[in-house]
């Protein structure tokens, strides 16, 4: 074995991870090679420095938060098992759509009858993130700049408020389509997370808002107020999404 | 709330590894808030795919999922960073995250202060490594996984683990000696 061949195995030798016969070959080489010995010595000190430093402790509350999340998941698993066959049909539709992926969302378009509000919201959210020009049609945190852009495009008047002081910055807004109707999409940023808040008028006969849900890794929250229906979606955690809801 | 047999078994096997999960996530995403989100998401994913867990190594299995979740987080954030200029926020987060990591340990304040400057250099150097090198050092020297387990977690042959660790440590050593040369010249 020469230095060139030994090079890749120095760490493994240091960590006692070489099989016996290869370790013997390495030891023979090291018996007469000063530079490889030096390499190993300096790697030993670097790895020792890292190993001796202490590891970060789990932050307060994370343990409880994880356990709560698991309980919620177990509960919803149990609920869907107890529901009658209707949920099985919905579940298999859902998994078929997930496996078809984004292309389905593009191909199906507004003409599809099978997709639910949640699926359309998720697709619209994902589409808005893929191409940066599609995220906002009007990029501003100022209500007096955003609101006029929507005049004539919507038959209702959402509020465009910036909550930068509370950690939710209004990035801007765009016009989007959910269930064949034009909706306002307010775009907020929280740290590195994008939150899309879809708003439309509460037409008589609309379903009442549902519980917080999770779909394809995104969290969704819905509520109603002042004759408007809101859907917030983000990869942000549900706690912080609820914080945005309470601000709005 | 109702907690059945599956949940109890899952918790018994997987909750003890939360320290490792958070630590590795923190090193990969370099930001405590995102690390907490990633740990939360990873545990959910692990629970949903618990039926696929069959070997005896719950720690390695869980960390494989943690790692995947972190890289998904990093990819989606880099897409978002194309949308909005984020350079200043990114740089400040890196400095803050080192600070957070350094202050997130037990030990007296005096000890922390003494150890801090030497250790800070090592940790900053580690944080600046490209993630493919950083993750093998974290998995080996901090979490003490075997090479076989590391190969499973990063989904690469064991020979790759060997050569990558060697190169990672050499890079670290080079960065550290450059830094201490700078200090000695001051």
User: Which of A131 and A227 is assigned the larger pLDDT?
Assistant: A227
Q: What is the pLDDT of residue B166?
A: 94
Instruction: Find which of A79-88, A155-164, B75-84 is predicted with most confidence, using mean pLDDT.
Output: A155-164
Q: Mean of the pLDDT values across residues B71-83?
A: 69
CB nearest A58 (choices: B19, B37, B81): B19
Which of A13, A43, A45, A49 best probes binding to B when mutated, by most B CB atoms within 10 angstroms? A49
Instruction: Note whether B114 contacts A: Cβ–Cβ < 8 A.
Output: no
B142 in contact with chain A, both atoms CB, cutoff 8 A: yes
| Contact at CB, A70 and B47, closer than 8 angstroms | yes
Cα distances (Å, whole numbers) of residue A24 to A7, A16, A129, B141:
15, 12, 55, 24
- Cα separations in angstroms, B166 against A205, B56, B163: 66, 28, 5
- Determine the residue of chain B that is closest to A234 in CA distance: B76
* pLDDT higher than threshold 60 for residue B161: yes
The pLDDT of residue A94 is 61
Size of interface A-B (CB pairs under 8 A): 150
Contact (CB<8Å) A66/B1: no
Contacts of B40 in chain A (CB under 8 A): 62, 65-66, 69, 237
Grade residue B80 by pLDDT with cuts at 50, 70 and 90. low
Strand partners of residue A200: A229
Is B97 near chain A, with CB under 8 Å?
no
- What would the pLDDT profile of B136-154 be if each residue is shown by its tens digit? 999 999 999 999 999 999 9
Q: Which two tokens stand for residue B13?
A: 């096997």
B109 or A212, which is more confident? A212
> 């957070």: which residue's tokens?
B100
What sections of B30-157 are H helices per DSSP? 32-48, 58-83, 87-103, 109-128, 131-137, 147-154
Alpha-carbon gap, residue B83 to B86, rounded angstroms? 9
Name the one residue in this structure whose structure tokens are 């960590």. A15
**Average model confidence (pLDDT) for chain B?**
80
Cβ of A17 and B33 within 8 Å? no
| pLDDT above 80 for B120 | no
Nearest-by-Cβ selection for B18 from A7, A51, A63: A63
B180 pLDDT above the threshold of 80: no
Write out the two tokens for A203: 């037409």
Judged by CB atoms closer than 8 Å, whether chains meet at A65 and B86 is answered as no
Q: Stretch A45-49: mean pLDDT, rounded? A: 88
Count of alpha carbons within 13 angstroms of residue B13, beta-carbon side: 21
CA-to-CA dists, residue B103 to B48, B100, B118, angstroms: 34, 5, 14
Statement: residue B62 has pLDDT above 90: yes
Query: pLDDT category, B119, cuts 50, 70, 90?
Result: low
List the 75-94 stretch of B: residues with Cβ below 8 A of A.
76-77, 79-84, 86, 89
Predicted ipTM > 0.95: no
Cβ B36 vs Cβ B22: under 8 Å: yes
Cβ-defined contact of A75 to B2 (cutoff 8 Å): yes
The answer to whether residue A117 scores a pLDDT higher than 90 is: no
Flag if A46 and B122 touch (Cβ within 8 Å).
yes
Taking the model in full, what pTM does it have? 0.55
Nearest to A66 among B39, B72, B79 (CB): B39
Q: Which residues of B56-84 are buried (b: 16+ CB within 10 A; e: fewer)?
A: ebbbbbbbbbbbbbbebbbebbeebeebb
Q: Select from B16, B17, B162 the residue whose CB has the most chain A CBs within 10 Å, as the one to mutate to test that interface.
A: B162
- Look up residue A35 and give its two tokens: 């530079």
CA dist A117 and A125 (Å) reads 12
- Containing B185, the helix (H) or strand (E) segment is helix B158-185
From the list A11, A17, A46, the residue facing B176 with the nearest CB is: A46
Of A132 and A145, the structure prediction assigns the larger pLDDT to A145
pLDDT tier for residue A89 given thresholds of 50, 70 and 90: low
Is A194 in contact with B105 (Cβ distance < 8 A)? no
- Give percent above pLDDT 70 in chain A: 83
């Amino acid at each position: 074995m020469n230095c060139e061949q030994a090079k890749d195995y120095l760490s493994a030798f240091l960590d006692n991870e070489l099989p016996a016969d290869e370790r013997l070959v390495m030891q023979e080489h090291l018996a007469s090679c000063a530079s490889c010995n030096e390499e190993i010595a300096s790697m030993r000190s670097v790895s020792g420095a890292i190993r001796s430093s202490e590891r970060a402790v789990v932050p307060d509350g994370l343990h409880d938060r994880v356990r709560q999340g698991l309980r919620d998941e177990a509960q919803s698993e149990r609920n869907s098992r107890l529901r009658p066959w209707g949920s099985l049909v919905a579940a298999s539709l859902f998994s078929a759509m997930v496996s078809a992926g984004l292309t389905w969302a593009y191909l199906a378009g507004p003409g599809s009858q099978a997709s639910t509000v949640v699926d359309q919201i998720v697709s619209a959210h994902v589409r808005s993130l893929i191409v940066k020009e599609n995220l906002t049609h009007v990029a501003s945190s100022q209500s007096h700049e955003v609101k006029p852009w929507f005049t004539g495009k919507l038959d209702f008047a959402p509020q465009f408020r910036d909550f930068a002081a509370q950690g939710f910055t209004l990035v801007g807004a765009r016009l989007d389509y959910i269930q064949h109707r034009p909706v306002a999409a307010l775009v907020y940023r929280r740290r590195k997370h994008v939150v899309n808040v879809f708003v439309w008028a509460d037409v008589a006969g609309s379903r009442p808002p549902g519980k917080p849900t999770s779909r394809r890794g995104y969290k969704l929250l819905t509520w109603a107020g002042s004759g408007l229906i809101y859907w917030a979606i983000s990869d942000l955690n549900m706690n912080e999404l609820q914080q945005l809801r309470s601000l709005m | 709330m109702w907690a059945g047999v599956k949940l109890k078994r899952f918790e018994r096997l997987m909750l003890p590894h939360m320290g490792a999960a958070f630590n590795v996530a923190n090193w990969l995403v370099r930001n405590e808030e995102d690390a907490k989100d990633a740990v939360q998401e990873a545990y959910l994913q692990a629970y949903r795919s618990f039926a696929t867990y069959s070997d005896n190594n719950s720690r390695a299995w869980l960390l494989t999922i943690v790692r995947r979740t972190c890289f998904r987080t990093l990819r989606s954030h880099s897409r978002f960073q194309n949308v909005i200029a984020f350079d200043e926020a990114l740089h400040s987060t890196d400095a803050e995250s080192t600070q957070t990591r350094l202050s997130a340990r037990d030990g007296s304040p005096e000890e922390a202060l003494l150890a801090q400057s030497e250790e800070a250099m090592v940790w900053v150097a580690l944080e600046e490594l490209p993630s493919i090198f950083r993750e093998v050092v974290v998995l080996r020297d901090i979490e003490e996984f075997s090479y076989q387990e590391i190969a499973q977690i990063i989904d690469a042959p064991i020979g790759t683990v060997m050569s990558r660790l060697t190169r990672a440590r050499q890079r670290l050593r080079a960065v550290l000696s450059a830094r201490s040369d700078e200090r000695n010249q001051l």
